[in-house]
Structure 1
Amino acid sequence: MELLELIASLESLVVQARRLPVGGNLVIERRVILDLVDQLRLAVPDNVRQAAQILEQREQLLRDAKEHGQALIEEAEERRKQLVSETIVVQQAESRAQEILMEAEARARQTIADADATAAAHLSEAAEAAAKQLQEADRYAVGVIERLQADIRTVLDALDRSSESLQESR
């Protein structure tokens, strides 16, 4: 159930609750309220969980990129050693191996930078979505509370008038 639906259920529960004859308090079953609170807790963290998953994906992308980069570096180093030992022109082999190593390092850095940028974008989107949902829930909750306060004031005013009427009739 969505967060706003749960808040609407809470509002409905309060609106439909029995009123005590004295004091204007409401009678609401504790279990029902606690069930709604549990459901609210389960409804809110979805975006937070999504953000955590995005962070984990970012970390995995970074680990994969580092592993891939390390593999490229090791492959380049192995290739460099092979070229040095097999070729007659040692200087040419060293030069080419160094180029391969630099290319591998540049590709590894670029892969890590790309993974970091992608993860940051996903995290930013999830954080914005979570903030927007929380703002909407807060606005809705404030509206519900204001309506409840108005209802309570109306009931209290009616009780005051009834009390004054009773006192005047005595």
Structure 2
Amino acid sequence: MRVFEILDEIIDAVENAKGVPMSSSAIINRPVLLDLLDDLRDAFPGGLEDAREILEQRDDIITSARDEAARVEESCNNEANRLVVEARESAERTTAEADDYRQRVTSETDEYQQRTIDKANSDADRIVAGAQAEATAIGETARAKADGTVQAAHDEHARLVSDHEVHRAAVNAAEDVRSQAEREAAKLRSDADEYVEDQLANLSLTLQKLSATVERGRDAAHGRRSGGRADYYPDDRV
């Protein structure tokens, strides 16, 4: 490298300079040494000059960098604050929408539950009324038939009693007819009571199913209120 060559020439010039007697000084050829120094200065890379200028401008560069860093930091803080505000507003909108949805689902669930309960009560009333009417009709028919049979037996008994020629036979026959009529009447009453009891048992089972359906609807509604929206809707059929 030319810089080191020039330095070597300068060192040689100093070492080979003629010494001053009784002194550590030496006589150096000034023009030659100055030429070497000029060559040395020219031999240094241009980047060193740039580095020197940068060192001289160091404070300005540091100040400018700090100002830019402060500006970037402020911009970042403003952007972060904006994002926080937007996120808070989005969260509030989401919460409001969730509340509206929950209220709408709760209202629809309550309406569905009330419709289910009303339908169950209506079906129960209709079934009870039908069973009671049917039981009453059967009971009245059975009683009317039994009363007619008994009355016919009494009439036959009276007719036979009035016949003196067959008095004894008529009395026995009348007693048999009356006994048979009373047995048939008792059987009809028993059959009617058994039928009514069966109808009431079926009605009780139907009411139990309706009650279970209503309870499931209430449990489902309670689960939706406490845990969110549920997919279960009780069947309208019993």
Into which bin does the TM-score normalised by the smaller protein fall? 0.5 to 0.7
Cα shift at 1:87: 4.8
Structure-to-structure mapping, 1:133-152, within 5 angstroms: 133-151=210-228
Structure 1 position 127 matched with structure 2 position 217: no
In structure 2, the partner of 1:84 is 161
Cα shift at 1:141: 2.2
Q: Which runs of 5 or more structure 1 residues have no equivalent in the other structure? A: 1-18, 153-170
Cα shift at 1:69: 0.7
Tell me if structure 2 keeps the 8 A contact 1:51–1:127: no
* Secondary structure in 1 matching 2:165: coil
Cα shift at 1:131: 0.7
Give identity over the alignment, percent.
Answer: 17
Q: Which runs of 5 or more structure 2 residues have no equivalent in the other structure? A: 1-93, 230-238
Matched residues in 2 for 1:130 and 1:141: separation? 16
Deviation string 1:105-160 (CA, Å, 9 cap, x unpaired) is 110111011011011111111210221122123123202311221129xxxxxxxx
Q: 1:75 aligns with which of 152, 160, 164?
A: 152
Aligned residue pairs total 133
Matched residues in 2 for 1:125 and 1:116: separation? 14
Deviation string 1:51-107 (CA, Å, 9 cap, x unpaired) is 232122112211111111111111111111111223503122111111111111110
Q: 1:59 aligns with which of 117, 136, 140?
A: 136
**Computing the radius of gyration over CA atoms, which structure comes out larger, 1 or 2?**
2
Higher relative contact order (CA 8 A, sep 6+): 1
Cα distance change, pair 58–20 in 1 and its aligned pair in 2 (3 A): farther
Deviation string 1:26-65 (CA, Å, 9 cap, x unpaired) is 369x9xx779846742443213321232122112211111
Structure 1 position 116 matched with structure 2 position 193: yes
TM-score (norm 1): 0.64
